[in-house]
Chain A
Amino acid sequence: MTSRKYVLIFLAAVLPLCALAIYAHLRLPDYRAHPLDLSALKPQEFILMNGMTRQQTGNVKIGHMENAPPPAVGVFGNHQFRYFAEDALKANGINKSFFNYWYANLALPDILDLLTYLEQIGKLPSELIIVQVTSPNNDNGRYIVERSQELPDDIVFLSELHKKETGDTSMFAEMQSLFQGAINNFRTTFSYSSFLIGIFYDEKRGRIISLDDCAEKHARASGVWSAIVNRLPQTMRPVLGMTIDNSMFCDSSYAELMMKDGALRSKDVRQVLKKNVNDLDPQKARISVLDASRIAGYLSNINDLAKRNGLEAAVVIPPVYETARFSVVDQVFTQAMKQAPGVAYIDDRKAHDVDAYFVNYDHPSSAYYKALMAELLKRGLVASH
């Protein structure tokens, strides 16, 4: 076979498959354009997150924040804070509306972009912004300073921060924005989850699951099909499971359920707590001492944004489950905090071995959030009424 013929047949295989991936991606419901109404959820009703792509999951949040009235207290962070729910406020007698905007793997520049965007559309929380920093000893610093590339392009590229970083008006900045946007679109389109979910998922099944109805449906969930589906790889399981019924997600140890306050419902099964899951190899550190001033800049900008809108802002550094360890990223972040002294920090890194504070290595439990809200109350950053 000649090289030319080989290349032609190779492309004849690749290009139609790429077209199919694009088609599958376009089939996915856009929860930003057609937002799910979280505030309409009844008790025991949840948004089913299984079988959503990361982009869709993010769009549930974006759609909500663009359309719903802003809460008094808003949490901005990433998956590390996904179990931060309204009960933490109620346990401290704080009677305020609350929403947890946790989103994918957002880092500090992403959060600043998001806040800037909310400021522009007039949807900032009305009293307190809680910003979660990815714990330095969690992922070697990557999701402190590097953009996650998971926010919608228009939010990133319209933000003041982005304009400042790229030189604002130049054609180069525009081109860079377009290029980055193209890469982001490629990434979301050519992903196995988008491909499989786009092809198989039947949106008519709906996204709301009521646990009140589960007792009845659970009988069906334990059928033969359910048994087969439950043996499939995790990616396929929700997709194929939902083609039949949502009832397989009645098993709350398996389902990913979003509550009306934006937090995820904590799973019933407690995971194994293991210390020092991240090996803190300095060779894998994704931030260096050069980044300290950059981090300080982000922290100060977030604080300034809150102040100019008459809001309180608290920056929380949550613990991860570990022994007391020296790490480069930890040290760099501490330097950054010193360079941004006006910010209200809740630095909980030292609570690294309080078992009750963790669901697993890097996800704090409701006990932690209750303690955190008590601290915010004590420091006067939020009032009870």
Chain B
Amino acid sequence: MLFNSIDFLLIFLPIVLLLYHLPVPAMRLPLIVVSSWVFYGVSGLVPLLFLIISIVWGWAMAHLLRHKKGMIYTSACIALPLIILFLFKYLDFSLTLFGAGEETRSALLFFISVTLPAGISFYTFQVVSYSIDTRDGIIKPERSFLKFAAYISFFAQLIAGPILRFSEISSQFDRISSQRWVPVDARRGLKYLSVGLLGKIAIADVLGILHRNHHHVDFYAIGTSFDALFVVLSYSLQIYFDFWSYSLMALGLGLLLGLTLPVNFKEPYLSLSPKEFWRRWHVTLSYWLRDYLYLRIGGHDAYVRNILIVFVICGLWHGAGTSFVIWGAYHAVLVIFYHFTRGTWDRMPVIVQTVLTFTLISLGWPLFYADVNEYLALMAKVFSMDFSGHGIYGLKHWLFPLSVSAFIFIFREEKWLYNATYRPVFDHPLMHGVFFFTAILFTQFSQTFMYFRF
């Protein structure tokens, strides 16, 4: 089920909210689990089956880790979820990489052909972090299966994060399971939900339409460098708003259930360097990679090697394909370059640092949808400095992404989105109601969230 669907907004969510806020605390965790499994299961029972297998395995094996802390046991604990992830997400890519023929593919057709379970990368990382935290004694193995199942499968963040740590949510689950009435911050909850919906439908999806226009023409024959820049810019804004909107809606849904989820985006396009970008973009993934990978392979001791490893894995986490590996390596190079030129870089004017970072990051995004050859052709177009001819995109096309960019760079989220006090211009419920209704009307035209496939 999608957040931006009629089924979710007009049927699933109202029913869950009504039941959840009945004064029956003992019902809330079971409700979270059941509703989350319904939410996930309507898209297919096979993905649900593998989600449940991962939950049962993660919960049971954590109890083993309490007593057996050796590397073998830890590896065994995290092996099954990772194998499932590999079979569904990386098998096809591996077969391509090793030049497997059609016979091999046919033999493995089941795994290749089953649609990648949505959110599998997200919940697998949660199971792995839980197992490692248990091994390290940071948390105790959870006795309640229900609570653990709610942690892994909570519908507000199951499909595309934020990636939760058990310690972040455990006490909140205890609280909602004991309070007769759960206090709800409806103002922020509904604001985040409606603004997130509108961000997805009115910005991300519209940018997607503009960006996809070039599929209908012979782009490389008639496009100019302006057109190539348009594609790069609109895709960069699209992927940001798509994921930002989802994360904001997740935050809002959490608040409507009395739960606080971590903020996943902190105005990443205002970053002054590639390194800072990763502290602001998909924050929970960055910290996960830092804590469970980077620091464990030596951290700063072998900086260049470890950064390369982390970012290549980060690329692979996003997708199984050569272009994702290159995207990861590209970011590693950016971060390493910044590391060694930090003195000079930091002395540049702030506006130059911001624009440079935004440009470098944006030039990498097309690897998310283009294969390597298409990407190279696009970059060749960008840097060919061919500004002659009419091109494909005119002023009326540019107006939208330029306005969106201006909005990002001018308006601070702490003033209009995460403001602590009530400001009628940004917080009026009538306005949010209209946003919500408008978004509902356009749900059928809306596209699936881009991060669902990761």
Contacts and interface: CB of A to CB of B under 8 A. Distances in A.
Contacts of A1: 187, 422, 427, 429
Interface string A1-38: 10110110111111001100100000000000000000
A284 B453 CA distance: 8
Contacts of A10: 186, 190, 429-430, 432-433, 436
Contacts of B443: 190
Contacts of B453: 281, 283-284
Contact of B433 (A9, A182, A271, A281): A9
B410 interface: no
Contact of B11 (A183, A274, A289): A183
A17 B116 CA distance: 38
A355 B7 CA distance: 41
A13 B430 contact: yes
A253 to B, nearest CB: 15
A12 B430 CA distance: 8
A274 B216 contact: yes
A307 interface: no
A225 interface: no
A195 B217 CA distance: 32
A183 B89 contact: no
Contact of B441 (A182, A192, A286): A192
Interface in A247-299: 271-272, 274, 277, 281-290
Interface residues of B, number: 46
B190 A277 contact: no
Contacts of B142: none
A105 to B, nearest CB: 12
Given A14-B437, A191-B444, A286 B190 contact: no
B437 to A, nearest CB: 4
B437 A18 contact: yes
Interface string A119-145: 000000000000000000000000000
A6 B443 CA distance: 24
B267 interface: no
B182 to A, nearest CB: 11
Given A3-B186, A11-B433, A186-B10, A288 B113 contact: yes
Nearest to B444: A191
Nearest to B88: A283
Contacts of B444: 187, 191-192
Interface string B178-195: 000000111100100000
Contacts of B427: 1
B215 A3 contact: no
B6 A183 contact: yes
Given A190-B441, A284-B115, A286-B115, A6 B429 contact: yes
A332 B110 CA distance: 10
A382 B428 CA distance: 66
A272 B217 contact: yes
A39 interface: no
Interface in B128-143: none
Interface in A165-205: 182-183, 186-187, 190-192, 195
Interface in B87-138: 89, 92, 102, 105-106, 109-110, 112-116
A190 B187 contact: no
Nearest to A328: B113
A95 interface: no
Given A195-B441, A283-B115, A284-B115, A186 B11 contact: yes
The dominant DSSP class at the A interface is helix
Given A187-B444, A289-B109, A331-B109, A14 B184 contact: no
Contacts of B422: 1
B7 A183 contact: yes
A188 B315 CA distance: 40
- Among A18, A283, A326, find the residue whose CB has the most chain B CB atoms closer than 10 A: A283
A50 B242 CA distance: 31
Contact of B109 (A6, A271, A284, A328): A328
B113 A14 contact: no
B218 interface: yes
Contacts of A14: 433, 436-437
Contacts of A331: 106, 109, 113
Contacts of A195: 441
Given A190-B440, A328-B112, A282 B92 contact: yes
A13 B437 contact: yes
A270 B114 CA distance: 37
B48 to A, nearest CB: 14
Contact of B102 (A186, A271, A326, A332): A326
A3 B433 contact: no
A141 to B, nearest CB: 9
A272 B115 contact: no
B445 interface: yes
A274 B219 CA distance: 11
Interface in B256-279: none
A192 B116 CA distance: 31
A283 B448 CA distance: 13
Contacts of B112: 282, 328
Interface in B433-454: 433-434, 436-437, 440-445, 453
Contacts of B7: 183, 186
Contacts of B10: 186, 190
20 contacts: A1-B429, A7-B190, A10-B432, A14-B437, A17-B433, A190-B6, A190-B10, A190-B440, A190-B441, A283-B89, A283-B92, A283-B115, A283-B319, A283-B453, A284-B115, A285-B113, A289-B110, A290-B114, A328-B112, A332-B109
Q: What 5 A-B pairs have minimum CB-CB distances, sorted nearest first?
A: A13-B433, A3-B186, A9-B429, A288-B113, A10-B429
Interface of A: 1, 3-4, 6-7, 9-14, 17-18, 21, 182-183, 186-187, 190-192, 195, 271-272, 274, 277, 281-290, 326, 328-329, 331-332
Given A190-B10, A288-B114, A290-B46, 18 more contacts: A4-B186, A6-B190, A7-B186, A7-B429, A12-B430, A13-B436, A13-B437, A21-B441, A192-B442, A195-B441, A274-B215, A283-B115, A284-B453, A285-B115, A287-B113, A288-B113, A289-B110, A326-B105
